[in-house]
Structure 1
Amino acid sequence: MLATQTLHEAGQRLWLDNITRQMLDEGRLEHYIRDLSVTGLTSNPTIFDQAIRRGDAYDASILAERSRGRLGEELFFRVALEDLSRAAALFLPIHQRTRGLDGWVSLEVSPLLAFQSMPTLDQVISLHEQAGLPNLFIKIPGTRPGLRAIEEAIFAGVPINVTLLFSSEQYLAAADAYLKGLERRLEAGLSPEVPSVASLFVSRWDKAVEGQVPESLRNRLGIAVGERTYRTYRELCESARVCRLVSEGARIQRLLWASTSSKDPTAPDTLYVEALAAPDTINTMPEKTLLAFADHGRVGSLLTNEEWESDEVLEEFKLAGVELDGLAEQLQREGADSFSKSWHDLLACIDAKSEALKEDHPVP
């Protein structure tokens, strides 16, 4: 049995952190669903930037949208939704079979709105209505301004993937925004069944402290933060507040591991996947990491509520001079900045392609 299937049967869902039109056209995504136990998919501006600038797979769509007068962000979202609609259709049987627990795809709002609550909310609602897909998460960064947008989006009934979370504290703030949205729905006589996931980024922690801590702590920070956050997640799931909402028909906001590829070339390429095997969670991984795990990954002990090493490890990092709260805030800002750069690069690429295609295909 492949490690991907073993992990799936242990209760963790595997999602692919990638999408390209070539992957869809060649049937690779279907293969991953059928043979590697992939049950969902995430995307972000960097993924689409890389996909669109490589080759001509998107040229026809860009030209068609340009001919309809669409430019910039509007054009991009139309093109992105073409891919995500195809992927969503492949995952729809899983979504239906699990009654909405699984089988999701994700689209991120403009990262330029990461620190603007109401513009984020407006775009979230617009994209949700435009897509018209039952299994689409809209991704909102878990920044402080993003928390208000998350609460309002949940209250509006839009399924949300909270992204760019880096600590248990940031996770709890995002979870609180989600729960507030559900509680407001109940007060308004609305169904609290609005799904959500909370995405904790893992490997960027170790990249951030590379060369700054003793060798004995190398590649241990991301896993320790993940373990602590999983404990916080389990405690919240068992809280009276969540139990009350679940009794009213709400879904638990599941914890999702993101940024699970090894950034250190000397580390095992399945390091974070194996270390963060945990029931009732999701691991979204790049294509390369998925294939590596399927090929030679191992599923050992699962994270449990009984045994924790994270507190001791995190204390060692503090003694080594790592200020964890400050670094979490820094990583969130850097993540938002990175996606903003990719966004600008993406729109510049689309504009350049659009102009070139216009010249090659003039309107009669």
Structure 2
Amino acid sequence: MKATQQLHDLGQSLWLDNITRDLLNSGTLQRYIDDLSVTGLTSNPTIFEHAISKSSSYDTDVSRLNTDGKAGEELFFELALQDLTRAADLFAGAHERTSGVDGWVSLELSPLLAYDTAKSVEAAKRLHDKANRPNLFIKIPGTKEGVPAIEKSIADGVPINVTLLFSLDQYKASAEAYLRGLEQRLAAGLSLDVRSVASVFLSRWDGATMDKVPETLKNKLGIAIGQQVYKAYRDMLESDRWQRLENAGARPQRLLFASTGTKDPKASDVLYINALAAPNTINTIPEKTLIAFGDHGTVSGAIPRSGGDFEQVLHDFRSAGIDLDKLAADLQSGGAKAFEESWGQLLKAIDEKSKVLQSTT
């Protein structure tokens, strides 16, 4: 049995961290669903920038949308929703079989809204309504300004993938926002069946500390952070506050391990997949890592309920001079900035493609 199937049987969902029209048109995504137990996918501006700039598969639609007067962000979201609604339809079976637990795709808001609560809420509702798919998440970053947008969007009934979480405190803030949004719905007599996932980015911790710690600590911090957050996730699910909501019809905000491609060429290419097996969670995996895990990954057990030895590992990093709180803040702000830069490159790529296509017609 392939390791991907073993993870699925353990109760962890494998989602592909990629979306391109070529993946859809070639049948490759369907093959990953059939052969590698993939039950969802995630996207971000960097993924779409690469997809649109490096493929001719979008040319016909770019030309048509240009003719309709669309450009920039408006044109991008038309293209993205075409791809993501097709992918959502491929995962509809998983969504139905699991009663909405699995089978999701995700669309990121414009990174330019990362620090604008009101506009994030408005854009999240508008894009989710436009997609018209029950299994499409809107991604909102768990920044200080994003947290109230998450709460309001959940209260409005919009499924949210909370992105750009790096630390325990950031995770807890997103979980609190989810709970508050559900509590608003409960007070209003509305259905509590509004889904969410909390995406905690892991490998970037190791990338940021690679040259600052002894060899014995390299590639251990991201896994320890994942274990720490997993314990908090389990604690939350056992809390009286959550159980009251669950009894009223709510479903958990699932923990999602993100940024799980190995950065260090000297380390195992499936390091974070092997180490972060855990039931009732998600691991969203770069395409290259997914294929590698299907080929030579192993499942030797799950993260213990206690999270394992993360406290000792975090202590060792602090002793080595790593300010974990500051690094978490820096990683989140740096991640938001990187997505903003990718967004600019994406819009530039669309503009350049539009000009080339217009010049040939």
The TM tier, using the shorter chain, reads over 0.9
Question: Partner letter of residue 262 of structure 1?
Answer: T
Residue 131 of structure 2: aligned partner: 131
CA contact (8 A) 2:231 2:306 kept: no
Structure 2 CA distance for partners of 1:184 and 1:324, relative to 1, 3 Å: same
Residue 236 of structure 2: aligned partner: 236
Residue 190 of structure 2: aligned partner: 190
Q: Distance in 2 between matches of 1:300 and 1:67?
A: 55
Cα RMSD of the aligned pairs, angstroms, is 0.7
Residue 305 of structure 1: aligned partner: 305
**Cα drift, residue 168 of structure 1:** 1.0
Residue 5 of structure 1: aligned partner: 5
Residue 269 of structure 1: aligned partner: 269
Question: Partner letter of residue 272 of structure 2?
Answer: Y
CA contact (8 A) 2:228 2:307 kept: no
Q: Distance in 2 between matches of 1:250 and 1:97?
A: 18
**Cα drift, residue 307 of structure 1:** 5.9
**Cα drift, residue 306 of structure 1:** 4.1
Residue 93 of structure 2: aligned partner: 93
Question: Partner letter of residue 146 of structure 1?
Answer: G
Q: Distance in 2 between matches of 1:235 and 1:91?
A: 30
Question: Partner letter of residue 162 of structure 1?
Answer: V
Question: Partner letter of residue 103 of structure 2?
Answer: G
Residue 152 of structure 2: aligned partner: 152
Residue 19 of structure 2: aligned partner: 19
1:258 aligns with 2:255: no
Q: 1:37-76 residue pairs with structure 2 within 5 A?
A: 37-76=37-76
**Cα drift, residue 55 of structure 1:** 2.7
Residue 337 of structure 2: aligned partner: 337
Q: Distance in 2 between matches of 1:170 and 1:302?
A: 24
Bigger mean CA deviation after superposition, 303-312 or 231-240: 303-312
CA contact (8 A) 2:278 2:303 kept: yes
Question: Partner letter of residue 355 of structure 1?
Answer: K
Q: Distance in 1 between matches of 2:318 and 2:307?
A: 21
Question: Partner letter of residue 246 of structure 1?
Answer: E
Q: Distance in 2 between matches of 1:285 and 1:307?
A: 21
Q: Give the unaligned 5+ runs of structure 2.
A: none
**Cα drift, residue 291 of structure 1:** 0.2
Q: Distance in 1 between matches of 2:69 and 2:283?
A: 39
Question: Partner letter of residue 278 of structure 1?
Answer: A
Residue 141 of structure 1: aligned partner: 141
Residue 284 of structure 1: aligned partner: 284
Q: Distance in 2 between matches of 1:42 and 1:59?
A: 23
Question: Partner letter of residue 277 of structure 2?
Answer: A
Question: Which aligned segments of 4 or more residues in structure 1 are displaced greater than 6 angstroms?
Answer: none
Residue 168 of structure 1: aligned partner: 168
The superposition leaves residues 54-98 of structure 1 with CA deviations (integer Å, 9 ceiling, x where unpaired) of 131111111111111111000000001111111011000111111
Structure 2 CA distance for partners of 1:121 and 1:322, relative to 1, 3 Å: same
Question: Partner letter of residue 203 of structure 1?
Answer: S
Which secondary structure state, in structure 1, belongs to the residue aligned with residue 145 of structure 2?
Answer: helix
**Cα drift, residue 250 of structure 1:** 0.2
Residue 115 of structure 1: aligned partner: 115
Q: Distance in 2 between matches of 1:45 and 1:106?
A: 11
Q: Distance in 1 between matches of 2:61 and 2:34?
A: 28
- The count of corresponding residues between Structure 1 and Structure 2 is 361
Question: Partner letter of residue 333 of structure 1?
Answer: S
Q: Distance in 1 between matches of 2:224 and 2:143?
A: 22
Q: Distance in 2 between matches of 1:89 and 1:113?
A: 28
Q: Percent identity?
A: 57
The superposition leaves residues 167-203 of structure 1 with CA deviations (integer Å, 9 ceiling, x where unpaired) of 1110000000011000000001101110000000000
Q: Distance in 2 between matches of 1:69 and 1:121?
A: 26
Question: Partner letter of residue 110 of structure 1?
Answer: S
Q: Distance in 2 between matches of 1:192 and 1:71?
A: 37
Q: Distance in 2 between matches of 1:233 and 1:197?
A: 11
**Cα drift, residue 4 of structure 1:** 0.0
Structure 2 CA distance for partners of 1:48 and 1:229, relative to 1, 3 Å: same
Q: Distance in 1 between matches of 2:211 and 2:134?
A: 45
Question: How high is the TM-score relative to the length of structure 2?
Answer: 0.99
Q: Distance in 2 between matches of 1:157 and 1:320?
A: 45
CA contact (8 A) 2:162 2:196 kept: yes
Question: Partner letter of residue 153 of structure 1?
Answer: S
Residue 320 of structure 2: aligned partner: 320
CA contact (8 A) 2:231 2:307 kept: no
Q: Distance in 1 between matches of 2:85 and 2:308?
A: 41
Q: Distance in 2 between matches of 1:50 and 1:93?
A: 28
CA contact (8 A) 2:227 2:307 kept: no
Residue 33 of structure 1: aligned partner: 33
Q: Distance in 2 between matches of 1:237 and 1:325?
A: 25
Which secondary structure state, in structure 2, belongs to the residue aligned with residue 162 of structure 1?
Answer: strand
Q: Distance in 1 between matches of 2:45 and 2:167?
A: 22
Question: Partner letter of residue 15 of structure 2?
Answer: W
Question: Partner letter of residue 323 of structure 2?
Answer: E
